[in-house]
Amino acid sequence: MRKELLVPEGEMTAAKAAAKRVKEEISHLGLSYHIESYGCQMNDHDSEKLAGMLEEMGCVKAADKADADVILFNTCCVREHAEKRVYGNIGALKKRKDEKPGLLIGVCGCMMQQKEAGDRLFRRFPFVDMVFGTNELHRFPNIFESALHHDRVIQVREMDGEIAEGLPVLRSGTFSTNVTIAYGCNNFCSYCIVPYVRGRERSRDSAAIVEEVRSVAAAGFKEVTLLGQNVNSYSGDDGATDFPTLLRMVHDGVPEIQRIRFMTSHPKDLSPALMDAIAELPRVCKHIHLPVQSGSNRILKLMNRRYTREKYMEEVEELKRRVPGIELTTDMIVGFPGETEADFEDTLDLIRRVGYSAAFTFMYSPRKGTMAATMPEQVPDEVKHDRLQRLNALQAEILKEGNLKYIGTEGEVLVEGCDRRAEPMAYGKLSNFKMVYFPGGEELIGSMCRVRITANQNNSLIGELIK
């Protein structure tokens, strides 16, 4: 891997050394930890790395968060709602800290990476011991060591961030897990804070990715999701490897992995080569998360999404043509500055035409420092609420209709869990991301089951096991 993309070796060695010292100092104490993770899978994965480092230092996962000796908040700032929740939950810990002064509290993640947010939090909550940004993750052992010795620490660097390869990871799933292929984002959609808090886009080397997928397969994982803010602009190995090529490398290089998913795909970079890779590679799931955000060309332009509704619709048609049976999911924002009733109707019209199998819908939330936050004609909250509710109602209807076509069909479900109702119901997803429930017990968890769909219910399908 290119040196300039990596965290300086000195920092990695210093962190390893700190981890070793801490372990010698505290492993006999059996300190327990609890990590509260907010936001997207990127953050979830960072939390797995924090857990990995804590375990490396001799800590154990707390059975109950109320008993934890170390509590970390891995924060998200993509919408105001996420931020408010974090502040509330941190504030609630003051009493715990008074009762148990040895409790170590840390706050990290995207929120800390915003201008002055870390400083402000550090001052506002004197009982917080550690504040650090997303660029500091690999230095957690050093930060933790200082906090153990009663020094409050704040470390946030405003930089684009290099990649730290080789951190220990404690994966929380049992059969499905995530592997990051690229960090950061260069797109600067006008509403979005992510490029400011996660820095410029950096792609990992393909060999490191394939190796990690191989290791998770060896550890028993059946499904892997390749993660990036925009996987379609993956450009690894000095630009020699694009995303469709990477997908083939992972698919062909790790035959033990039964399902390969990826997210998120930005519509502006969706290529025919990717469509073909999805169609041709049997273990790549027939599903794409292709967020459209809005169905209005005027709003798409203001959002700096760099595609039109027509271009998006063409891509969807092409996808459906090249990958028979593919299902699409999306993210949508309502109430973007200047969004009129007519713009919103365009959004409703688009979701009707595409027929998504799931839509993650959000009310626009102004983020300080982004272009859209200063745009005139901010939409009143009541209007946002009303549009969100109408959008969700329409999507629910579309989903119900869309599900009907599956009745009588068969497919493979990777079983994720089991609901113990009157009759135990196993559940999991089809390759196309549709959730299926069928009579079956806990012993099926983690296995691939052939199922016949017999009915639809709310957001999911009902089926029966084919023996």
- CB closer to ligand F3S out of 355 and 366: 366
Sign of CA dihedral 75, 61, 445, 45: positive
Interaction between residue 192 and ligand F3S (CB under 6 A): no
C-alpha span between 234 and 243 (Å, rounded)? 5
Closer Cβ to ligand SF4, 192 or 425, answer by number: 192
CB of 192 to ligand SAH, least distance (A): 4
Residue from the set 57, 128, 156, 194 that interacts with ligand F3S by CB under 6 A? 194
Contact status, residue 53 vs residue 140, Cβ threshold 8 Å: yes
322 touches 310 (CB < 8 A): no
Q: Which does 93 bind (CB under 5 to 8 A by kind): ligand SF4, ligand SAH, ligand F3S, none?
A: none
Q: Report the first-to-last Cα separation within the chain, whole angstroms.
A: 48
- Closest distance between ligand SAH and the C-beta of residue 48, in Å? 19
Question: How long is the chain?
Answer: 467
Name the one residue in this structure whose structure tokens are 């626009």. Answer: 364
Residues 84-123 that bind ligand F3S (CB under 6 A): 110
Nearest residue to ligand F3S, by Cβ distance, number only: 39
Q: In degrees rounded to 5, what are phi and psi of residue 360?
A: -95, 115
Site pattern 156..195 for ligand SF4 (x: CB under 6 A):
-----------------------------x-xxx--x-xx
Beta strands in 264-409 (DSSP E): 287-289, 327-334, 358-363
Interacting residues with ligand SAH between 275 and 314 (CB under 6 A): 291, 293
Among ligand SAH, ligand SF4, ligand F3S, none, what does residue 195 contact (CB within 5–8 Å per kind)?
A: ligand SF4
Size of the site for ligand SAH (CB under 6 A): 17
| Strand order across the beta sheet in which 327-334 lies | 287-289, 327-334, 358-363
- Region binding ligand F3S by CB under 6 A among candidate stretches 159-167, 194-202, 245-253, 408-416: 194-202
The CA-based dihedral angle spanning residues 131, 136, 139, 144, taken in that order and rounded to the nearest 10 degrees: 10
Give the separation between CA 241 and CA 208, rounded to whole angstroms.
Answer: 13
Q: Which does 365 bind (CB under 5 to 8 A by kind): ligand F3S, ligand SAH, ligand SF4, none?
A: ligand SAH
Is-contact 227 41, C-beta < 8 A? yes
Residues in contact with ligand SF4 by CB under 6 A are: 185, 187-189, 192, 194-195, 229-230, 266
